[in-house]
Amino acid sequence: MAPQLGRSSPESNRMVILTGIIGIVLILILANLLGPFRGWTLTVAALWALVVAVVIALLAVIGKLRLGRPGGILISDRNLMSLTRFQIIGWTVLIGSALLAVGLARVFDPHVKTLADALNIDIPAEVWQLLGISGGSTVLSTMVKSNKKQKEPAQEQKVTEKTASLLRGETPQNIQANREGLLYVNPVPSDARFMDMLEGDEIANTAYLDIGKVQMFLFTVFALLMYGASLWQLFFKTDPAAITALPGLTQMMVTIIGTSHAAYLGTKWIDQTPVDPNATPADDGDGVGSALADAELDG
């Protein structure tokens, strides 16, 4: 049975708050241990690992309570697992947790004299560039999908019959009833699957792997693992007082990520479903301005 969507219940809100409080208490306890045991450099890395675990647990609780699934935070309004959401959340958790862990470690370190000094942590330009690429890609991707929602498919019956024959348990009638313009839509969040992140967005190619998505997913995972390893090495080997900046990324890595996003957007821009030139598009906005105003991370 699909979860009831609506405003969160008081019980759900209490569960989220309780999870957050428990996580914060655990983080503060471990951070406080950095004072008497600051010679044990693993404590910074351990603190970071705990922060990551708490954030992921909190996101899982929110997803479970809101959409009935721990991975609900990754499900878009089209009831599909979103590559854009995976990417944004991945970098947010990785970098945000690192800043929080280092900040707390420095706050409790007696060698750092003031709170301002403890929180004075530099983020390298390459990291800002990567976040900018991800954010810009999200906006452009949303604009492309907003445009596809305004189009109507040609030979809809033929296209949906072919797609339904390739998808287990799907029917042409369901595809036609749930689609938004050219875009494929699941009827309920419980239908979302991991493979959604790697498959096409449209009713004509949703049964096939999208090479642009596959490439961007792999490069994103590789970059997250590489940067995560750099953070761990820094936190494992360095005392809190000496950590004044997060590690940087190589310019080559930033270029690779940027090229991957360009390829992803290029493949997304092209309509994979035949478009009916005589159909009148639905008027639900004013073009680019509406697309930006209604931006959704449905990647």
Question: What pLDDT shows up at residue 150?
Answer: 92
Greater model confidence, 226 or 295: 226
The pLDDT value given to residue 279: 73
Q: What is the mean pLDDT of the chain?
A: 83
Task: Report the range of poorest mean pLDDT among 23-27, 116-120, 274-278.
Answer: 23-27
User: Does residue 90 register a pLDDT over 70?
Assistant: yes
8 A C-beta contact, residue 96 and residue 227? no
- List pLDDT tens digits, range 92-102: 999 999 998 89
* Cβ-based neighbour number of residue 128 at 10 Å: 11
| 102: Cβ contacts below 8 Å, ≥ 6 apart | 44, 48, 121, 235, 240, 243, 246
> Based on C-alpha coordinates, what's the Rg of the chain?
22
φ, ψ at 153 (rounded to 5°): -75, 145
What's the rounded mean pLDDT across residues 215-222? 92
147: left (phi over 0), alpha (psi -120 to 50) or beta: alpha
DSSP-based three-state secondary structure for 199: strand
Mean pLDDT across 31-44: 54
